Amino acid sequence: MLLHARYAAPYRLRLERVEVAVPTMGRELAGLRIGYFTDPHLGPMTTSDDVERGLSLLFSADPDLLLIGGDLICESPRYAPQAAEILGRYATRAPLGAFSVLGNHDIANNGPRLTGLLEEQEIRVLRNESAPVAFGGIELWIVGIDDALLGCPDANLAFSAVPDGKPSLVLWHEPDWAEEAAHAGAFMMLAGHSHGGQVRLPKLGAISAPNGGRRFVAGLNRVNGLAIYTSRGAGIYRPPVRFRCAPEVTLITLV
């Protein structure tokens, strides 16, 4: 069991399919397919081949838009070029483009450098910023809030350019401040960070989760009218084990 949790389970990715209802003001967005990829932690425990396998699995579902939730690298900035190159190749396959936020590990390993490398690959990095995506004749605003642990998150600044009454979706690495996204009027938030706890026991669930990922540890939850989805992540971090908590990539379909 221990060998499986260390050497097999962390690399058996699943494609999770999730449906989220759009608000009345955004019903034209129904049918949009969002590929969500987060927490690969490219580094000593997750290789570039592992990241490639995860993105290949995600793009087998033909997403229209790629959203990236942070913690792309860990342990050293030297992994940033590899992460950006792989993500860039798949970003070109998303008809509506790609957007990312940074996670705490990205910021700890030279966040500005990683940001520059991602943007060279035409992946827009949102740090308290927003950008529109056109689909179904209307705009969906992608709002990226800076990392809550090592960044300078400012939800008001992030939403400042979103026109009143327009549908918005929040990318925020840590899930536990979802009320701020709900208060600002978003209908959905995508997060990661927790890895689902990595180890989940029957009836007990996750036995541990990091600061910022303890309230909404995994899956689809709702808070104040906001749908928040927390991915279990595509990679692992210390301790490098998974038990009853498979890594994932996620296809979110708006309905």
Query: Which band of pLDDT confidence, cut at 50, 70 and 90, is reported for residue 42?
Result: very high
Instruction: Give me the percent of the chain exceeding a pLDDT of 70.
Output: 100
Q: Is the pLDDT of residue 1 over 90?
A: no
Q: Which two tokens stand for residue 75?
A: 């342990």
Domains of the chain: 2-254 (3.60.21.10)
Length of the chain: 255
3-state helix, strand, coil in the chain (%, to 5): 30, 30, 45
195-208 tens-digit pLDDT: 999 999 998 999 99
pLDDT of residue 2: 86
Residue 111 near residue 125 (C-beta atoms within 8 A): no
167 φψ region: left (φ > 0), alpha (ψ -120 to 50), beta (else): beta
pTM for this prediction:
0.98
Alpha carbon distance 180, 224 (integer Å) = 10
Chain-wide mean pLDDT for the chain? Answer: 97
* Torsion sign over Cα 235, 236, 241, 243: negative
91-112 tens-digit pLDDT: 999 999 999 999 999 999 999 9
* Torsion sign over Cα 206, 208, 210, 212: positive
pLDDT of residue 44: 96
**If residue 249 lies in a helix (H) or strand (E), which one and from where to where?**
strand 248-254
Interval 168-188 mean pLDDT: 97
112-160 tens-digit pLDDT: 999 999 999 999 999 999 999 999 999 999 999 999 999 999 999 999 9
Q: Residue with structure tokens 């740090």?
A: 127
